[in-house]
Chains A and B, each alone.
Chain A
């Protein structure tokens, strides 16, 4: 059973998707080894499992991103990642 699904999220962190939130996001995505997860900004699509790739998005606060998941646990992965964006990656002081 494979399914491809996507969501749109907004970066809410004041400092944008910098190294710390990127690492939290990548760690979460890595918990879905059998699911391909991609984060897209305009024409750029990067692997959600790589901090380096996520940093290439240069996503500041307010940036809209599309997260695409393809795999057996696609929906579950997107639910988890969406919650992370909403909770500002649990980094809010």
Chain B
């Protein structure tokens, strides 16, 4: 599934300064409001949903990547945000590595298949060491958008 239709340059924060994981997630939700893909009145509720999910188990899937996410009734289509934290942030990740790249995903509650497909598309990038390295290297919204655009439609290895 192509991810670029759900990525907006304004929801890409390549130089996040954060105090902790929750702060990072909060800032990314804020970026979604700025990018006008999330309505301001529901932002707090969506943030709560993501933090609640994060409280169940880490989304730090390894290789320095965290994928905080939620299924929400507050969005009608998938929305995504991307953040990069130079010094890394503790996600309690499965491999113990600090998270330097955050890919946030909010899916409409009713569209579960899309959620699984988007998750697969994200993981497809992260599990490929070369593409994951390129993802870590995205220092501008443009480079992130370019990379996602390039990888859309690439068959899974």
Q: How far is the CB of A88 from chain B (nearest CB, A)?
A: 14
- Say if the beta carbon of B135 comes within 8 Å of chain A: no
B46 interface residue (CB < 8 Å to A)? no
Give CA–CA (A16, B111) in the complex, Å. Answer: 12
Question: How many A-B residue pairs lie within 8 Å, measured between CB atoms?
Answer: 50
A19-B67, A58-B116, A60-B113 given as contacts; is B62 within 8 A of A52 (CB)?
yes
Task: Say yes or no: A60-B126 contact (C-beta < 8 A), given A19-B69, A20-B57, A52-B62.
Answer: no
Known: A18-B119, A19-B67, A20-B56. A56 touches B127 (CB 8 A): yes
The one of B94, B113, B120 in contact with A55, judged by C-beta atoms closer than 8 angstroms, is B120
User: Does any Cβ of A come within 8 Å of B59's Cβ?
Assistant: yes
- How many residues in B have their beta carbons less than 8 Å from beta carbons of A? 21
In the complex formed, the residue of B with least CB distance to A59 is B116
Query: Beta-carbon contacts of A42-82 to B below 8 Å, as 1s and 0s?
Result: 00000000011101101111000000000000000000000
Question: If the complex has contacts A56-B124, A56-B156, are A19 and B119 also in contact, measured as CB distance less than 8 A?
Answer: yes
Q: Does A35 contact B (CB under 8 A)?
A: no
Indicate whether A52 sits within 8 Å of B123 (C-beta atoms), given known contacts A14-B112, A58-B116: yes
B57: shortest Cβ distance to chain A, in Å? 5
- Could you give 17 example pairs across A and B, Cβ below 8 Å? A15-B71, A15-B112, A15-B115, A18-B112, A18-B116, A19-B69, A52-B127, A53-B127, A55-B61, A55-B120, A55-B123, A56-B123, A56-B124, A56-B156, A58-B116, A60-B112, A60-B116
Kindly list the 4 A-B residue pairs having the minimum CB-CB distance in the complex, ordered from nearest.
A58-B120, A55-B123, A58-B116, A52-B123
